[in-house]
Amino acid sequence: MNNSKPYVIGIDMGGTNTVFGIVDARGVVLASNSIKTAKHSNINDYIDELHSEALRLIRSIDAEGKIYGIGVGAPNANYFTGMIEDGVNLPWPTPIPFAQMLSEKFGIPVAITNDANAAAIGEMTYGAARGLKDFIMITLGTGVGSGIVINGQLVYGHDGFAGELGHVIVKRNNGRLCGCGRTGCLETYCSATGVARTAREYLELRTDPSLLRDLDIDSITSKDVYDAAMAGDKLAKEVFEYTGTILGEALADFTVFSSPEAFVLFGGLAKSGELLLKPLRNAMDKNMLSVFKGKVKVLLSELKEADAAVLGASALGWEAKPATTTLAATATAATAAPQA
């Protein structure tokens, strides 16, 4: 933090929307807005709109010249290189030197990382992991992501891609096909999508009645399964037991790696409460190496959902360092911009 520059911008780039906000050092989102990620077929047009909309936001709270840095959570974003790498569902050709492009446009240091890492940094800075030096963030959304913190530092690994725990193989034989091209990955079972897949499997393989049989089987979502389970549906409850058990077994395995003080669960599925947590804790305890038994907490994210992604990204903004190419840009775009 810097007294004359008390704010950071957090940007959460998703395939559909890009949400951004101005955040102070205590994690208060002072103002936020969003643009459509896929509106522009040219990345430069996207950055132009992001820049002008962010400037408008900056001016709306009289924050010109007061932005310390920008943090971005984006799919396949590499902290080390500042690149959005290949293999991601965005409307532009990859790799994209996104940190550099954004830094040149704004004249402010930019740091980027993937969304799960951003969530971990946010949770450590503002959420359930405050004060924890060793924890693992598990994001349970469309996929399963993770951000690993060891000794207070996010683990980026040799190439910046560490922490892909959604792609640990939990079923070595006859596992489900994953978007990564392999089979049996954790995220094919324990994501929102995985819950829906399990429900469809159960409905096809079993004959017992279920509220879910009233729905179109191909469009069942994890929310449908949750609603059915909360209404007492046995099959739907068993879907959560299956999901929680596999996740608990995996968390026990992850524990032997870095011996975390806690796992922090984040994302839609984490809000399933005891439906997921009870079988998860049971399986984790049953499969835990004795030296770790009873030591590892399972926490739920404390970040407000609407702010979480922006907060997480913004926390990274405090770490952003000026790139060599932008060192000369002391009069930042935000400062130099004419008043609207």
Is 181 near a second copy (CB under 8 A)?
yes
Stretch that binds a second copy, among 20-28, 104-112, 143-151, 307-315 (CB under 8 A): 143-151
Crossing angle of the two packed helices 222-230 and 234-258, in degrees rounded to 10:
120
Separation of alpha carbons 201 and 42, rounded Å:
41
Tell me the β-bridge partners of 12. 19, 73
Is 80 near a second copy (CB under 8 A)?
no
Is 170 near a second copy (CB under 8 A)?
yes
Strands (E), 2-124: 7-13, 17-24, 29-36, 67-73, 110-113
- The three-class DSSP label of residue 179 is coil
**CB distance 48 to 35 below 8 Å:** no
Tell me the β-bridge partners of 138. 146, 265
Say how many residues touch a second copy, by CB under 8 A.
Answer: 44
Is 151 near a second copy (CB under 8 A)?
yes
Is 199 near a second copy (CB under 8 A)?
no
**CB distance 189 to 243 below 8 Å:** yes
Task: Tell which positions 292-331 bind a second copy, by CB under 8 A.
Answer: 292, 295
Query: Encoding tokens for residue 126?
Result: 């503002």
Is 291 near a second copy (CB under 8 A)?
yes
Stretch that binds a second copy, among 55-63, 109-117, 176-184, 331-339 (CB under 8 A): 176-184
Stretch that binds a second copy, among 4-12, 16-24, 268-276, 287-295 (CB under 8 A): 287-295
Separation of alpha carbons 304 and 263, rounded Å:
18
DSSP 181: S
Is 26 near a second copy (CB under 8 A)?
no
Stretch that binds a second copy, among 2-10, 40-48, 156-164, 308-316 (CB under 8 A): 156-164
Instruction: Kindly tell me which residue out of 98, 189, 242, 254 binds a second copy, with binding defined by CB under 8 A.
Output: 254
Is 140 near a second copy (CB under 8 A)?
no
Crossing angle of the two packed helices 234-258 and 192-205, in degrees rounded to 10:
130
Q: Which one, 146 or 326, has the nearer CB to a second copy? A: 146
- Return residues touching a second copy (CB under 8 A): 85, 87, 133-134, 148, 150-151, 153, 155-165, 167-172, 180-182, 249, 252-254, 256-261, 287, 289-292, 295
